[in-house]
Amino acid sequence: MLLWVGLGNPEPRMLRNRHNIGFMALDVIAERHGFGPWRQRFKGLIAEGVIGGARILALKPLTYMNESGESVVPAAAFYKIVPPAITVFHDDLDLAPGRLRLKRGGGAAGHNGLRSLDRLLGTEDYWRVRLGIGHPGDKTRVLSHVLGDFGREDEVWLVPLLAAIAEAAPLLASGQGEAFMTKVALLRQEQG
């Protein structure tokens, strides 16, 4: 079993925040691949499904971003999922809007959700799907940027990106990370 985690904040008024792109990615994946209904467990919402023959547990922590590990660690422990079988979908300021990068391990780069996971998992040895939201240009505007909603102008790249991630998810589930990134990029080009 694989554990796919979307990072975000649980309040309804925050659903469209840039910080919640991880939640958005999991929602589109779960819908596209016919996952079971979301239910509350492990201080989060979980849904189960199969993608490309791999059993996936999708988890959206409801602990707020800064305490994401408090949801992920008990879920991973219950299902005996080791860190290399965990993939975290999260926003990334250092990538241009609509860009995607997959990497295993590495530092938190100032991301409090990743920092919580690193601290409570005791390792950085999990996969990260970094979803670019762009940088506001001034570090004093970072908080309002990540906690701000996506605008209509963002829909031109956000909707196609999420659709491409869901379409390419079988490659990610089968451990073909490079092929996953390539397919997302190609699908995005086709979409215009």
Residue with tokens 């469209």: 16
Which amino acid, one-letter code, is at 65? Answer: M
For the full predicted model, state whether its pTM sits above 0.75: yes
Q: At what angle do helices 155-173 and 177-190 cross, to 10 degrees?
A: 150
- Residue of 19, 90, 111, 145 marked catalytic: 19
Q: Which two tokens stand for residue 69?
A: 């590990």
pLDDT score of 5 = 97
- Residue 146 CA neighbour count, 13 Å, CB half: 25
Tens-digit pLDDT profile for residues 136-154: 989 899 999 999 999 999 9
pLDDT score of 79 = 96
Q: Single out the residue of 184, 188, 88 nearest to residue 129, CA to CA.
A: 88
Query: Which stretches of the chain drop beneath a pLDDT of 50?
Result: none
pLDDT score of 131 = 96
pLDDT score of 119 = 86
77's enclosing H/E stretch is helix 69-78
19 tagged catalytic: yes
Walk me through the domains of the chain, giving residue ranges and CATH numbers: 2-190 (3.40.50.1470)
Asked whether the beta carbons of 45 and 38 are under 8 A apart, the reply is yes
Q: Could you tell me which residues are beta bridge partners of residue 60?
A: 45
